Chains A and B, each alone.
Chain A
């Protein structure tokens, strides 16, 4: 079941990389958030003793502390990754009237090819280094590493500020998947802090897009080149 979810995650990554519609990209972020949330649930169920229903129930009660923490984490993953971040991005897109990010020099087909190669390379590396990877499933490792790299490619070829933030959210999803692949866990407080930080970062970047848009009209990275060393830009 988890493997199936990870495959869905990988496909959503490919779709994001090739699509130029903002709405499609935020929807894929939503899908990734839900997938990550379900994987988190499964990861925690595995910790329980599931030989029989009765032993599962008793282990539920003996681990109340851990369970409350896990429940908190699952809810926060869902709320932050699947609800808040895509919605914030949608709002920003709507407010600044951004629908698409087309880069005529770089057709979507190329992006598809590049991200497929990255995905393939991720699998190759993960499956060829099984002994170093120790107890980590190579599917997990391959998909998460290739998502991280694809997110960088995504950021590099897109031009709108908003798509950069979407790329950042995608990068964070990849990292979250990688952290889930480690069988041992971060302490709860660290996970919560990370989620909070990511949420605030996306929120602040969203606000900045609004501010920059109100000055430049159409927020685009090519316009952000005032600050250089060679010629001093005049402050307005």
Chain B
């Protein structure tokens, strides 16, 4: 009899990212986020249900049950996104719940197709599937992988099925956006990684590589196109999430060093992106608008926020000493080792566009001045800085010195994928 929940190197990594980010987000929002006690009770209970459903999805050892947990994350986070009940947040919630539910239904079709193809295996525990991988009919396995990749890819924010992501991330309250971007996307990626292992055991690794490389590069391309037109800084961060998910997908597709790079990317993207979303909450509080045009001269309004904003942006764009530099370096090295130089050049070019687009916006917000001289400095409570400082310092430390234990963990996790 198998256990429904297990802990191994791979999901331990995802669990660490989830717990660290959640603790920081809780520190940021405190226990008094809503206006009155009743709303607070509702908000925090749903927040913890959201957290629990992600823990369930990460630890689960059974494909069917994982599906249930992933769908539960959609349903629990719906309330969190529409917390303010404005016109826009309702629209974003509608798109989020509807698109994700449809996408996840497709993933369930994929699971059923896998059951059809698995013949005598008759189990959806990952261990059983891995043990009998060669007995599964390759036709059905390929078909089901495509369905599952599209289905869970919708949740993970891979292009071309990412369209809910910018809306939901931009309209949710900032702590919730941080949770969505840094943890929710990861938990869907984990399921795809489990299936990648099954495909590689069944000797269908090539299909996985083609599909995930295409989706990853498309995600980066979409971000590079949209990042210039963006007028809302939270949407910019959301598109950056699409880009980073694309990089992770490319890394997984490349295998060996690329996989290790992708796993480092998963962990460190969570740390940095959550800090950026929390900082964007500070900016929203200071200026009361999400439009880039109306945010000017953060540096004289609130020095600490402007530094966090700039540092976070530098780290997310993989400028050293960012750990993302390390991971992207590994991925590019694997690209060259595989001899796919043209694709590698395309990716680097797109990443350069993205660096220019995002840095341009961030610097404008930080340093361009109003016509009327002088901005009054505004103070924020200290708990609005500490989580971001902690996350950014952790990320920089990981970028300079990766502890042996963590690297061993990542290496073991990498071996669980290919």
Contact = CB atoms under 8 A, between A and B. Distances in A.
Interface of A: 132-134, 136, 148, 155, 161, 164, 168, 171-172, 175, 178-179, 182, 184, 186-187, 189-190, 193-194, 196-197, 200-201, 204-205, 208, 211-212, 215-216, 224, 226-227, 229-233, 235-236
B374 to A, nearest CB: 27
B243 interface: no
B274 to A, nearest CB: 22
29 contacts: A132-B137, A155-B102, A168-B98, A168-B105, A171-B102, A171-B105, A175-B109, A175-B112, A179-B112, A179-B115, A190-B64, A193-B64, A193-B65, A193-B67, A193-B68, A197-B75, A201-B71, A201-B74, A212-B90, A227-B88, A227-B92, A227-B95, A227-B166, A227-B171, A229-B229, A229-B235, A232-B290, A236-B87, A236-B88
Interface in B33-77: 62, 64-65, 67-68, 71-72, 74-75
B139 to A, nearest CB: 6
A187 B64 contact: yes
A229 B88 contact: no
Contacts of B140: 132
Contact of A233 (B67, B88, B101, B139): B88
Which of the listed residues A132, A134, A200, A235 has the most CB atoms from chain B within 10 Å of its own CB? Answer: A235
B75 A204 contact: yes
B122 to A, nearest CB: 5
Interface string B369-381: 0000000000000
Chain B: interface size category: 35 or more
Given A190-B64, A232-B291, 6 more contacts: A172-B105, A193-B64, A193-B68, A227-B171, A229-B226, A235-B290
Nearest to B63: A190
Nearest to B139: A132
9 pairs of A and B residues whose beta carbons are closest in the complex: A193-B68, A190-B64, A197-B71, A232-B231, A227-B167, A184-B122, A224-B91, A182-B115, A201-B101
A208 B94 contact: yes
B68 A211 contact: no
A208 B75 contact: no
B257 to A, nearest CB: 35
B389 interface: no
Contact of B68 (A155, A179, A197, A215): A197
Contacts of B67: 190, 193-194
B48 to A, nearest CB: 17
Contacts of B290: 232, 235
A133 B65 CA distance: 25
Chain A: interface secondary structure?
A: helix
A184 B117 CA distance: 11
A211 B90 contact: yes
Given A175-B109, A224-B95, A236 B68 contact: no
A165 B88 CA distance: 20
A222 B90 CA distance: 14
Given A168-B101, A208-B90, A224-B94, A184 B115 contact: yes
B183 interface: no
Interface stretch (B78-86, B190-198, B211-219, B392-400): B78-86
A175 B108 contact: yes
A226 B75 CA distance: 23
A236 B86 contact: yes
Which of the listed residues A134, A164, A171, A229 has the most CB atoms from chain B within 10 Å of its own CB? Answer: A229
Nearest to A227: B167
A212 B91 CA distance: 8
Given A172-B105, A204-B78, A235-B290, A226 B64 contact: no
Contacts of A224: 91, 94-95
B91 A226 contact: yes
Contacts of A208: 78, 82, 90, 93-94, 97
Contact of A212 (B75, B94, B166): B94
A66 to B, nearest CB: 15
Contact of A148 (B109, B226, B232): B109
A179 B98 CA distance: 22
A215 B88 CA distance: 11
Which of the listed residues B109, B166, B231 has the most CB atoms from chain A within 10 Å of its own CB? Answer: B109
Given A194-B67, A232-B232, A164 B87 contact: no
A200 B53 CA distance: 14
Nearest to A187: B64
A235 B91 contact: no
Nearest to A219: B94
A193 B294 CA distance: 46
Nearest to B109: A175
Nearest to B236: A229
A235 B91 CA distance: 12
B91 A227 contact: yes
